[in-house]
Structures are given as structure tokens and as C-alpha cells.
Structure 1
Amino acid sequence: MSNTKFNIFLLVLFGAAMPAAVVLSTNLARSSFEKVKLRDQTITVKGYAERPISSDRAVFSAEIGAREKELTAAYTKLEADRAKVMAFLATKGFAGDQVQLGPVAIRTLYSRDAKGNPTNQIELHSVSQSVTIASATVKSIADAARDISTVIRDGVELSASPPQYSYTKLDDVKLQMIAEATGNARLRGEALVKNSNNRLGTLRSASQGVFQITPAFSTEISDSGVNDTSSIDKTIKATVTIEYAIE
């Protein structure tokens, strides 16, 4: 074959091969691009966990008060009223070291003149003392708080705060709930990609939301979290936000 014919043959062969090479190159590039693009795809899902808890610690506080013209008389009445309160608490199972007494506070009240200005004349002496009980026997605290009004009917000047109920094993429960919420997030992610040809990949990032501790059956929620102390039976809720790769 002459050189001229051979060159023509090469040109024809090269021309025929070019489109196929371009198609092959394009397909390879597209496949490579799709793999890179897929590797960069992620999905973000929220995980949720909830469980009931029952308070295992309670605190109840009240303040006994007495007011008399003479300070000694006010203090005498305070002592008598304190004895009534202590007797009441004993019927609820609280005595001795189980009852914490605060220091006695004394306040002097002065008379006012016709224009409402204070004078140097003492009108009354007011004395007060706090009484606090704390126990793991939550029901006994609740009963004491509910029935404390009986000493008021007996002439005791007393103001009481609502009982404060708490759960002392919160740290352990929180760790368990983060794990549960993370598992829930993965299930949600898998459900979202179930009908595609992809699958959920590795965890890319994770963030924990605030815990919500609310009264049982409450729908209360707050961006800064809720920590209910007003109820014995509560619900603790946890959320996490997870980003997964898509493979």
C-alpha cells in the first residue's frame, strides 16, 4: 500500500473512532461527576425520644409568722405556732432532723402620721421563721403540703410555697435518651431514602437540642428548655439533629 493510501486509511479510521471516543469519554466524565456529586449529597433529619419519669425527691417550705405590739410577745407566739406546725409535720412522718428550721427574722413596723409619713412610734414587731422538709418519700411531702392549711385554721399565721418535685437520676436518663433520639433519626433518614436507589451513609454532623421536662401529658415547649418542678409525674423529651451522607 502506498503512503498516500495508507494516510487516507488512517484518517478514515480516526474519523470513525472519534465519535465513539467522545461518547465514551463523556460517559466516563458523567459517571465520575455523578459519583462526586452523590458523595457530596447529604440529608438532615431530626430524631426524637420521649419517656415518662416519676419524681423521686420533693421539697416543701413554709414560713411561720407572728406580729405583736411587744417583741417578746411576738416571739412567744412564734414559738407556740412553731410547736403546732412541728406537731402537724410529725403526723405526716417528719420529725427531728427531717425538719429544717431557718433563723428567726425580726422586722419592726412603725406607725404613720395623717400624711402617711413614718413616725418613731413602734406599731408592731413582726417575727418569722422558715420550715423546710425534704424527702424521697414524695407522696408524704404532697400530703403535708395539701393538709398544711389545718394549722392555719388553728390560728397559725403561715404562708406556704408549692412543693418542688425533681428526679435525681436525670443525667443517666439524658444519656440514654440521646442514644434513643439518634437511633430514631437514623430510622427517619432510612425511611426518606427508602424508595430511591441510594442508601443512608455515614454520620456527617450532629447537634443536640434542649431537653423538655414537662408535666405528664403537657404540650409545653420552649426554645430554652423546660424543667418542671410542679408535678410528680413528668415527661422528658429529647431531640437531636443529624446530618447523614447519601451513598
Structure 2
Amino acid sequence: MKPEVDSKYKVFSAVFLGICFVTGMTIFGYCFLLSKQPQKTVTVIGSAKERVVSDIATWSSSFSVKTSESALSEAFKLMKRYEAEVLSVFEQHGIDRKSVKASSITVMENYVPEQLATERSYTLVEYLFVETRDIQEIAERSKLITQELLDKGIVFQSNPVQYYYSKLPELRVKLLSEAVKDAKRRAMEIASTSGLKLLRVVSAKSGVVQVLAPNSTEVSDYGTYDTSTIEKDVMVTVNVVFEVK
């Protein structure tokens, strides 16, 4: 009797294991089939924009002297006198000398056709850079300074004032959050009109920051940073993919 019981037990165990194996493979196959079925998704671009006021301005300028090779030494001395006079005029118009960064004197040889050349000539240039929080006044001051120096006979070149917003990184984080919310609102509208239910976020990718002149639409794939205006529109976009069913 004992060998017969063992034989039946072995048969039962083999059948049971076989059923478990078939059941497991069936479940696995079903799950694998589900994973291979195309996932229903909706892709939405959300955006957020905020107007800010620049809190930093920069102004660059330069003055120069043209000279012949034989008079280079005197030209260098003249440049140093001009530097003192330029900085004095800056200070008279409310720009502290300590806030002015001056470059070393750059010497550039002037091109003269060989048939006309009697002696080499050069242009000596010194560049000046000012960074200030005085946003409202710097543009007008730069105009007055330029005119006064030109009236004194100094060859002075002024570049346009540029305006920047220093808290852009913090604002970007805030706008990204708002852009994601905007994307979700748009996705819910699309889903509801299509009879679908919005599920989880599959992926999200933020776009570049666009710093635009007020009401401008001149965006770029690589980002835009307008420096010509005191007020700016900062815009951020985000591409979000939602699962739907």
C-alpha cells in the first residue's frame, strides 16, 4: 500500500505544479500583452508669463586717440590725461569712480594702402564699463556725459544701456510650476471633450526661458534675453505628456 500512496502523491504533485506553471505563464503572457499595447497619451504645452522690472543696468563706452608710430609715447600720455578727464566727468554726473571698470589701453594698427603709407599709424582705445542699480537715471546720464566729452574734443563712443533682472533663476522655478498647472488645465479640457479620463504624468520637459520686451512675441528655440527695455516679460513653457483612458 505504501508504494501506491507515494505514486499517487507524485502524480498529484506533478499535476499541481503543471497547473501552477500554466497559470503563471498565462498571467505573465497577459501582463506582457498589456505592456505591449499602445499607451493612450495626450501631449500639452503649458506656459506662464510674468512682467518684471529690471534691477541692474550696464553701460559700456570707450575713448580713443589716433597717432603715428613716432608719436606713440605722447599718445599714451594723452590717453592717461583723457582717462582722468573722463572719470571726472563721470563723477560730476553722479557715477562714482569706484563703480567704473577701465580696461588697459589697447593698441590697434590702422590699415593704410601700401602706396599711400609713409609711416605706420595706430589707434589707442580704452574701454569703460559701469554696472549700477540706478535704473531710471543711467540712460540720461550717459547721454549728457557723451555730449560733454565730445564737446571737449575727446573721441568718446557710448553704447546703449542694457537692462537685466537679477532674480531670474528664482522666477523661473515659480513660472515652471505655474506652467505645469496650465498644462494640466489644458489637458483636462482636451480629455473631457474627447470622453477620456486624465491619469498620471508620463513625462515633462521644460523649455528655455524667454525674456522679452513687453508684449513681444519674438521667441527663440535657444532662448531670448531682451536688454533694451526696463520692463520685461519673462515667459516659460513646459511640454507635458499625460496618460489617459
Match of 1:218 in 2: 216
In structure 2, the CA distance between the partners of 1:74 and 1:58, relative to structure 1 (3 Å rule), is same
Match of 1:7 in 2: none
Which residue of the other structure, out of 116, 119, 130, is the alignment partner of 1:133? Answer: 130
- Superposition deviation, residue 107 in structure 1: 4.1
Match of 1:83 in 2: 84
- Superposition deviation, residue 219 in structure 1: 1.5
- Superposition deviation, residue 156 in structure 1: 1.0
Tell me whether 1:64 sits opposite 2:63 in the alignment. yes
Amino acid at match of 2:209: F
Gap runs ≥5 in structure 1:
1-34
Q: TM-score, normalised by structure 2?
A: 0.75
In structure 2, the CA distance between the partners of 1:104 and 1:189, relative to structure 1 (3 Å rule), is same
- Superposition deviation, residue 108 in structure 1: 5.2
Secondary structure at 2:136 match in 1: helix
Secondary structure at 1:139 match in 2: coil
- Superposition deviation, residue 125 in structure 1: 4.6
| Structure 1 contact 208–241 (Cα < 8 Å) conserved | yes
Match of 1:10 in 2: none
Number of residue pairs matched by the alignment? 209
Which residue of the other structure, out of 143, 147, 153, is the alignment partner of 1:146? Answer: 143
| Structure 1 contact 178–239 (Cα < 8 Å) conserved | yes
Find the aligned partners of 1:130 and 1:59 in 2 and give their Cα distance: 13
Name the % identity. 25
- Superposition deviation, residue 230 in structure 1: 2.4
Please tell me the root mean square deviation across aligned C-alpha atoms, in Å: 2.7
Match of 1:173 in 2: 171
Secondary structure at 1:243 match in 2: strand
Secondary structure at 1:192 match in 2: helix
Gap runs ≥5 in structure 2:
1-33
Q: TM-score, normalised by structure 1?
A: 0.74
Find the aligned partners of 2:35 and 2:98 in 1 and give their Cα distance: 70
Write out the 4+ residue segments of structure 1 that deviate beyond 6 Å after TM superposition: 35-39
Find the aligned partners of 1:102 and 1:210 in 2 and give their Cα distance: 34
Find the aligned partners of 1:136 and 1:105 in 2 and give their Cα distance: 29
| Structure 2 contact 61–127 (Cα < 8 Å) conserved | yes
- Superposition deviation, residue 217 in structure 1: 1.7
| Higher Cα Rg, which structure | 1
Find the aligned partners of 1:155 and 1:238 in 2 and give their Cα distance: 48
Q: Deviations over 1:109-164 (max 9, x none)?
A: 58655x34x45x34x45322111111122223323333333111221101222222
- Superposition deviation, residue 221 in structure 1: 1.4
Secondary structure at 1:40 match in 2: coil
